[in-house]
């Protein structure tokens, strides 16, 4: 049991990449402040400990996904999940952050008292503790279950159906006919890996995704200092994103030209030609064209169609064709869960996230002393989370220096509201009604631009007009 109403300066929720990053900055930049990391599960790593499906890997280069204070050392920049998990754990141990983690501590509620200027944090089955500042580093995925649409006739299928989030070691796919439903990052990771042992793998998609091949080992990075190589990748990523948004027709043509080079002559490129423009949804990266190689060698195929129903032997498609299958993997997406699904109230009044605006991509209007770390949708997760941790430390130090106890971002009623995430991906559109919104102008607007955020969060004013202190 927790000590009765234990008092801490900062509580961090989540021991994944963003939680470890937060721990590092709190103990190096906020001298004398006490903190603890509460982790619902029994291990460090967050996403990289949760997902165990074959071939799991990063969908960003590790120079930017890695911690800036402990750069990724390997030449392999699109890394596999176990290597990333080991890196996160080693980093936590190297800086003693692992000693601050309390495992099996699932936060279920947070109650703010204006009178005491403190949060009371309720931990499932372990009582409560208090803190001056609450820093949510739990990501935005629902760790309990992924998203699976209704699959007509699934009960008739004699094989096994599994979502990648629930992958277990006993799943046998060697020599089996496998159908992977989906076309996102998880699907394009699974297909070439499963194809190494399966009889054949079919990627069944309702609509295509833009897929770009990148070298698994950066040919330039190994000859550059890590800091310089990191900035090279940051700037290249920003430049490519801007190119895609400003010149979508040219970007689409270039991407498809690269895809065509990796496939057999005359291959139907409609399977890799989305109806939307590049970066309307997140692009998928494949290292050394491994997905295209599997298709080229006949070990995998891509089918664009809709599911009519499952049969005993496989999947009946709307076109009339039937896909035989022994194993079906539903790489159909994730569920979003804001603030880890915990209940939050201010002086007894529950907050309503959809009615709130997000301040600087990390705080909520009208909610005191609470920040959350969420990564970029168009770049590496860690880039944004590290900036958020640095800003939170600046904010805490400012309050300490001025003798302040409370900071609250107060919205301007005249600010136009926009969706929080400007993405058409299914996992986003399904959850937008549950999420807070952003404004049309700073500091209520998140530009998804590391350079702009670097200037604002590292060097911008703490005491701007929107932030109220007491």
Q: Domain 6-144+335-469: which topology?
A: FAD/NAD(P)-binding domain (3.50.50)
Q: List, in sequence order, every residue forming a beta bridge with 128; answer none if it has no partner.
A: 122
pLDDT surpassing 60 at residue 364: yes
- The token pair at 340 is 């880890």
pLDDT of residue 299: 97
Range of lowest pLDDT (19-28, 148-157, 417-426): 417-426
Backbone angles phi, psi at 338, to 5 degrees: -75, 135
3-state secondary structure of 243: helix
pTM of the model: 0.93
Q: Are 350 and 343 in contact (CB under 8 A)?
A: yes
Backbone angles phi, psi at 135, to 5 degrees: -120, 110
pLDDT of residue 423: 59
Range of lowest pLDDT (156-160, 167-171, 272-276, 458-462): 458-462
pLDDT of residue 156: 95
pLDDT of residue 422: 66
Backbone angles phi, psi at 115, to 5 degrees: -65, -40
Q: Are 300 and 329 in contact (CB under 8 A)?
A: no
CB atoms within 10 A of CB 112: 23
pLDDT of residue 37: 98
Q: Domain 154-330: which topology?
A: FAD/NAD(P)-binding domain (3.50.50)
Extents of the domains making up the chain: 6-144+335-469, 154-330
Do the two domains 6-144+335-469 and 154-330 of this chain adopt the same fold?
A: yes
């Amino acid at each position: 049991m927790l000590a009765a109403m234990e008092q801490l300066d900062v509580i961090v929720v989540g021991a994944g990449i963003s939680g470890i990053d937060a721990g590092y900055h709190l103990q190096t930049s906020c001298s004398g402040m006490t903190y603890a990391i509460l982790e619902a599960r029994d291990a460090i790593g967050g996403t990289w400990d949760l997902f165990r499906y074959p071939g799991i890997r990063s969908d960003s280069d590790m120079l930017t996904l890695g911690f800036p204070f402990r750069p990724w050392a390997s030449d392999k920049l699109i890394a596999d999940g176990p290597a990333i998990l080991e890196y996160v754990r080693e980093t936590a141990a190297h800086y003693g952050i692992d000693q601050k983690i309390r495992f099996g501590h699932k936060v279920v509620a947070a109650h703010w008292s204006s009178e005491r200027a403190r949060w009371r944090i309720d931990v499932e089955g372990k009582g409560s503790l208090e803190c001056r500042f609450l820093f949510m580093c739990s990501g935005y995925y629902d760790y309990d279950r992924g998203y699976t649409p209704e699959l007509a006739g699934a009960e008739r299928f004699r094989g096994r159906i599994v979502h990648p989030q629930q992958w277990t070691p006993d799943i046998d796919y060697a020599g089996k006919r496998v159908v992977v439903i989906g076309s996102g990052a998880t699907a394009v990771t699974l297909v070439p890996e499963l194809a190494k042992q399966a009889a054949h793998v079919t990627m069944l998609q309702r609509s295509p995704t833009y897929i770009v091949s990148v070298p698994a080992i950066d040919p330039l990075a190994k000859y550059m200092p890590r800091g310089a190589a990191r900035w090279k990748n940051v700037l290249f990523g920003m430049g490519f994103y801007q190119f895609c948004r400003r010149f979508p027709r040219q970007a689409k043509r270039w991407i498809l030209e690269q895809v065509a080079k990796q496939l057999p002559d005359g291959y139907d490129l409609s399977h890799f030609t989305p109806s939307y423009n590049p970066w309307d949804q997140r692009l998928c990266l494949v290292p050394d064209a491994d997905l295209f190689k599997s298709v080229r060698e006949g070990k995998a195929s891509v089918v664009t169609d809709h599911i009519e129903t499952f049969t005993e032997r496989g999947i009946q498609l709307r076109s009339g064709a039937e896909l035989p299958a022994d194993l079906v993997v539903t790489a159909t997406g994730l569920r979003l869960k804001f603030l880890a699904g915990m209940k939050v109230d201010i002086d007894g009044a529950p907050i309503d996230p959809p009615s709130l605006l997000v301040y600087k991509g990390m705080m909520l209007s009208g909610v005191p002393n609470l920040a959350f770390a969420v990564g970029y949708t168009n770049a590496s997760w860690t880039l944004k989370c590290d900036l958020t941790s640095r800003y939170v430390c600046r904010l805490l130090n400012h309050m300490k220096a001025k003798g302040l106890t409370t900071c609250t971002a107060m919205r301007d009623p005249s600010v136009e509201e926009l969706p929080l995430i400007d993405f058409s991906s299914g996992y986003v559109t399904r959850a937008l009604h549950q999420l807070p919104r952003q404004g049309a102008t700073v500091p209520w607007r998140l530009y998804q631009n590391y350079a702009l955020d670097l200037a604002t969060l590292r060097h911008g004013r703490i005491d701007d007009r929107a932030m109220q202190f007491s």
